[in-house]
Amino acid sequence: MTTLTHDRIGAHPPHAHGPTGLMRWVTTTNHKDIGTMYLIFSFMMFLSGGVMALTIRAELFQPGLQVVQPEFFNQLTTMHGLVMVFGAIMPAFVGFANWMIPLMIGASDMAFARMNNWSFWLLPPAAILLLGSFFVPGGATAAGWTLYAPLSVQMGMGMDMAIFAIHIMGVSSIMGAINIVVTVLNMRAPGMNMMRMPLFCWTWLITAYLLIAVMPVLAGAVTMILTDRHFGTSFFNAAGGGDPVMYQHIFWFFGHPEVYIMILPAFGIISQVIPTFSRKPLFGYASMVYATSSIAILSFSVWAHHMFATGMPAAGQLFFMYATMLIAVPTGVKVFNWVATMWRGSLSFETPMLWATGFLLVFTIGGFTGLICAIAPIDIQLQDTYYVVAHFHYVLVAGSLFALFAGAYYWLPKWTGHMPSEFLGKLHFWCSIVFFNITFFPMHFLGLAGMPRRIPDYALQFADFNAMASIGAFGFGLSQLIFLVVVLKCIRGGKKAEAQSWEGAEGLEWTVPSPAPHHTFEDAPVLAKA
Amino acid sequence: MGFAGRIAGSSLLFGYVSGVFAQDAPSRFNLQHPVTRIASEIYSMHTLMLIICLVIFIAVFGVMFWSVFHHRKSRGAVAANFHENTAVEIAWTVIPVLILLGMAWPATKTVIAMKDTSNPDITIKATGYQWKWGYDYLQGEGEGIRFLSGLSTPRTQISGAEAKGESYLLEVDNPVVVPVGKKIRVLVTAADVIHSWWMPAFGVKQDAIPGFIRDTWFTADKEGIYRGNCAELCGKDHGFMPIEVHVVSADKYTEWVASQQAQATSASAEDTREWALAELVERGGKVFAANCAACHQADGKGLPPVFPALDGSPVVAGDKAGQIEVVLKGRAGTAMAAFGSQLSDAEIAAVITYTRNAWGNKSGEAVQPADVIAGR
């Protein structure tokens, strides 16, 4: 097998790439090129979603209507959610998977290289459909990112565009997930058994299974909305024998695993970064794997905790409350393991470690507010208030996004061959964490005191905290431009990165030169016996 | 307020907060001051949870920050090499399970109490419309009373042309009135999309689902005016459909019931008499402002293509029977609601007459309540 592989690769000159210029990117099947495109795409979507968020915050700066009208406001909140979830966070993690999984397991590329190209190139048309819907008559969908029926049945053609965009992005995600599963299961270097895999690969393997399980469910839900809208079906219309609440069950059967799709790879990145800068192996590797799997399995039996206010029977509320509380256990195990990894290590706080430590602190706040929301009677008060907005931004921004930044600073030397600027990286971190908390911490108070979410105007007692959140949001938004500068500087030059760019870094990705050559591991690496 | 509430009340932070804000001032940092048993239980449970979470948070991150400051490479720390410890790992799996069991117990009791809607003194049906609430008193004292309840904050306050009032966006034209200390069962439903009937001080939030009826209950222990909002995104004016409940003494409630019943008698007389054109237009202008202007706009230009213009509309210019049909039955698949169940015959006749004689529409034609009855 080894000789065969070698012969096949030997048949090509070492640097014979295909087309150059734009066509290189359109036709590429190289996991590193595709990873780069995913990351650029997701950053562009992150900025678009960010502009929407800032428009929302500008409107909410003061009571009264000043900047936008209610209809457009609802379009902005809806599209901010859709763009950030499906355009920014999910593709960014797929980009990391593309770049890093083959390098971490010693594979030459992803298993299905052509499908990999296709799964990326589906995304730009989907993004054009989604963002383009702002410009059609009636504007973008304004039904909330959850697209609850029957409100979503009332929308204009922007809703249909969003449905097709979701279909396309779903296809892309499923193909990406299949690719990751097959790569991880079949293409590991000899000697790398499952329990020696870097944790990032483990978390992505589990995430990929979640994606394959739930993306078709979402596609089904939005297709039923489509047929209710245009073809006279009554899936969600009680007058025709349907049930609006059934949409919520189907949506959240997708939606809850979806939140773990957005956080498990983040756990993986953090589990790579913390041991490196603690110069100490990850504490409880096996329990991390089991905790991740438990979270994934439990995530299928908690969906209706998003629906406590729909009026389900007491038995239903109790079941979903207990199941949800149970998720705190494996999540707690993970946090304890990370802290134990740092305990008696030899710590240094380069930029990636700052982000990882920040993640740990702020993500845990989001975890605790999640536990509080899990208690059904408390959730009756908090459901659809700013408390929930605060909660999910603590887990999705301080969780997923901060982990993405930790990973980006960690692997930028491998991607570009230059060390990112420590000064700018640290500035980016400190601005982000301070402004993040100024933006989202007051929202806990707003929600407790009774401010509903998704409203363009509010009662006067909420004015002070809203003004504070808006100021924080603009600070946070502008801070992200620092990251753009760091990356551009890093691509153009800077301190040369060594193969092992960080002192404590371990793993196969640090055995190849920096920047990683176009083709790596054409010969499978040999792992030392454990 | 329960044991946990008392701990919190005596602690420094909460002492400060409750000291600065008197009981009846709007809440700013914490859940609103509870006035039902359920809301009190929720309030104490939240305080207890918050304290437990804070203690765990401080313990875990105390350890982390100890490491951050003492186990630094720059301070000469040398990394240990341990990477597992079965006893510790079992402990930090089992102990959280026990803590969770402790939290689940009071929560379970409250869930069961919240669901007990049996033996109410008064039953009220709340129906969510885009964007107002309709109330029907179905059983108990006041049976038969029905009215619509919409935002009473003037649009000029929202646009900033006028200073905002004290209850900005939390005030309605017709509040719900209930007697103090009586068990009120609320049946919640909707006519168009999903809404949610939320009264924070009562610990009640129930989604209003079109085609289905769900129920919830409350017994308010203290007289006063309580305010809430629709809590489920329901379209353009989701932020502008508040809920206002007046909890009054038994005597005042009886008075209110009598006055409502007197109004209902005079309203039914309206439906049977013949109206003059000017009278219809004047009344119709008020009905239009309260029910139609949110979508079709005060100037009748609408917000096309979702909310069509009425000024120059072929439906308004066409045969009156066609327009009566649309107003009574709504248009399926659009935001146009069926007003037949919301407005009286006189109100529908008035508002149709108004639209046919306002802006550029000059039919000069009066639509009588009898025409509406014929169209039903």
Q: What residues in B contact A463, CB-CB < 8 Å?
A: none
How much of chain A, in percent, has pLDDT values that exceed 70? 96
Q: How far is B54 from chain A (nearest CA, A)?
A: 9
With an 8 Å Cβ cutoff, are B83 and A314 in contact?
Answer: no
Which among A109, A160, A228, A379 is annotated as catalytic? A109
Residue-by-residue DSSP string for A57-104: HHHTTSSS--SS-HHHHHHHHHHHHHIIIIIIIHHHHHHHHHHHHHHH
Contacting residues of B for A377, CB less than 8 Å apart: 38, 41-42, 45, 107, 110-111, 114, 203
Distance from CA of B372 to the nearest CA of A (A): 24
Strands B243-248 and B176-179: parallel
Q: Please give the pLDDT value at position A6.
A: 39
Q: What is the pLDDT of residues A488-527, one digit of tens each?
A: 999 998 899 999 999 999 999 999 999 999 999 999 898 8
In a 3-state reduction of DSSP, which class is residue B244?
strand
Residues in B touching A314 (Cβ below 8 Å): 111-112, 114-115
The residue type of A101 is I
pLDDT tens for each residue of A81-106: 999 999 999 999 999 999 999 999 99
For chain B, the first-to-last Cα distance in angstroms comes to 53
- Chain B, 172 to 201: residues with Cβ < 8 Å from chain A are 188, 192-194, 196, 198, 200
Minimal-distance CA residue of chain B relative to A278: B79
Q: Which residues pair with A271 in a beta bridge?
A: none
pLDDT of residue B336: 86
Count, residues in chain B = 376
pLDDT classification of A530: cutoffs 50, 70, 90:
low
Which residue in B207, B297, B303 has the most chain A C-beta atoms within 10 A of its own C-beta, making it the best mutation to test that interface? B207
DSSP A375-389: SHHHHHHHTTBHHHH
Which of A33, A160, A228, A258 is catalytic? The answer is: A258
Q: What is the residue-averaged pLDDT of chain A?
A: 94
Distance between A489 CA and the closest CA of chain B, angstroms: 28
> What residue of A is the nearest CA neighbor of B17?
A445
- List chain B pLDDT tens, one digit each, 376 residues: 444 444 444 443 443 444 344 445 778 899 999 999 999 999 999 999 999 999 999 999 999 999 999 999 999 989 998 888 999 999 999 999 999 999 999 999 999 999 999 999 999 999 999 999 999 999 999 999 999 999 999 989 999 889 999 999 999 999 999 999 999 999 999 999 999 999 999 999 999 999 999 999 999 999 999 999 999 999 999 999 999 999 999 999 999 999 999 988 887 777 788 888 888 888 888 889 888 888 898 888 888 877 888 988 888 888 888 899 899 988 877 778 888 888 888 889 999 999 998 888 888 888 888 888 888 8
Which two structure tokens, joined as six digits, stand for B344?
A: 């009286």
A463-492 and A402-416 are packed helices; what angle lies between their axes, rounded to 10 degrees? 10
| CB within 8 Å: B73 and A346 | yes
ipTM above 0.85, yes or no: yes
B57 touches chain A (CB under 8 A): yes
Using CB atoms, which residue from A284, A339, A456 is nearest to B84?
Answer: A284
Do the Cβ atoms of A448 and B27 come within 8 Å? yes
Distance to chain B for A252, nearest Cα, Å: 16
To the nearest whole angstrom, how far is the Cα of A430 from the nearest Cα of chain B? 16
> Measured between alpha carbons, how far is A353 from A451 in angstroms, rounded to an integer?
36
Alpha helix positions (H), A112-195 = 113-121, 123-132, 151-154, 157-186
| The residue to which tokens 């924080």 are assigned | A472
With CB atoms and an 8 Å threshold, state whether A381 touches B46.
Answer: yes
pLDDT tens digit sequence for A473-494? 999 999 999 999 999 999 998 8
Q: Between chains, do A381 and B42 touch, taking CB under 8 Å as contact? A: yes
- Which residue on chain B is closest to A384 by alpha carbon? B231
Cβ within 8 Å of A, B 223-242: 227-240
| Chain B, window 252-291: residues with a beta carbon less than 8 angstroms from a chain A beta carbon | none
Q: Under 8 Å CB-to-CB from A8, ≥6 apart: which residues?
A: none
Residue whose tokens read 């397991």: A105
* pLDDT band at residue A16 under the 50/70/90 scheme: low
CB contact under 8 A, B67 and A345: yes
d(CA A444, CA A468): 13
3-class DSSP assignment, residue B254: helix
Distance of CA A33 to the CA centre of its chain: 20
Residue B16, chain A, CB below 8 Å: the answer is no
Residues 6+ apart with CB under 8 A from B373: B271, B345
Q: Which residue of B has its CA nearest to A337?
A: B89
Residue B319, chain A, CB below 8 Å: the answer is: no
Please confirm whether the linkage preceding B305 is cis (ω < 30° from 0).
yes
A306 is catalytic: yes
Cα of A445 to nearest chain B Cα, Å: 5
Read off φ and ψ for residue A95, nearest 5 degrees: -60, -45
Cβ separation B196–A64 shorter than 8 A:
no
Q: How long is chain A?
A: 530
CA dihedral A278, A484, A80, A204 (to 10 degrees): -40
Among A148, A151, A314, whose Cβ lies nearest the Cβ of B112?
A: A314
Return the pLDDT at A10.
39
Question: CB under 8 Å to B356, separation ≥6 — which residues?
Answer: B316, B320, B323, B363, B365, B367
The pLDDT, as a whole number, for residue A17 is 57
Does residue A157 surpass a pLDDT of 70? yes
Catalytic one among A299, A331, A439, A520?
Answer: A331
Statement: residue A401 has pLDDT above 60 = yes
Q: Look at A309 and B230 and tell me if their CB atoms are within 8 Å.
A: no
Interface test with A, best of B45, B193, B216, B331 (most A CBs within 10 A): B193
DSSP type of residue B272: T
Give how far B7 is from chain A: nearest CA, Å.
Answer: 18
Phi, psi of A455 (to 5 degrees): -120, 140
Nearest to B104 among A137, A325, A461 (CB): A325
Q: Which residue in chain B has the smallest CA separation from A284?
A: B84
Hey, what are A33's tokens? Answer: 């090129």
User: Closest partner residue to A347 among B31, B73, B239, by Cβ?
Assistant: B73
Q: Which of A249, A279, A453, A454 is catalytic?
A: A453
A–B: how many Cβ contacts below 8 A? 294
Distance between CA A286 and CA A271 in Å, rounded? Answer: 12
For chain A, give the percent of residues with pLDDT over 90.
92
Confidence check: pLDDT of A246 > 70? yes
Asked whether the predicted pLDDT for residue A416 surpasses 80, the reply is: yes
By CB neighbour count within 10 A (0-12 exposed, 13-18 middle, 19+ buried), where does B370 fall? middle
Active-site annotation holds for A271: yes
Clarify whether A256 is annotated catalytic.
Answer: yes
Q: Closest Cα of chain A to B65: distance in Å?
A: 9
Q: How far is A49 from chain B (nearest CA, A)?
A: 20
Active site residue A305: yes
As a whole number, the mean pLDDT across chain B is 89
Q: Which of A25, A99, A145, A411 is catalytic?
A: A145
Residues of A in contact with B31 (CB under 8 A): 381, 448-450
- Mean pLDDT of the A36-54 span: 97
A-chain residue closest to B227, CA distance: A450
Across the interface, do A325 and B100 touch by the CB < 8 Å criterion? yes
CA distance B168 to A63: 9
Any CB–CB contact under 8 A between B17 and chain A? no
Chain A residue with CA closest to B331: the answer is A154
**Beta B224-228 vs B243-248: how paired, if at all?**
antiparallel
The answer to whether the CB atoms of A74 and B233 lie below 8 A apart is yes
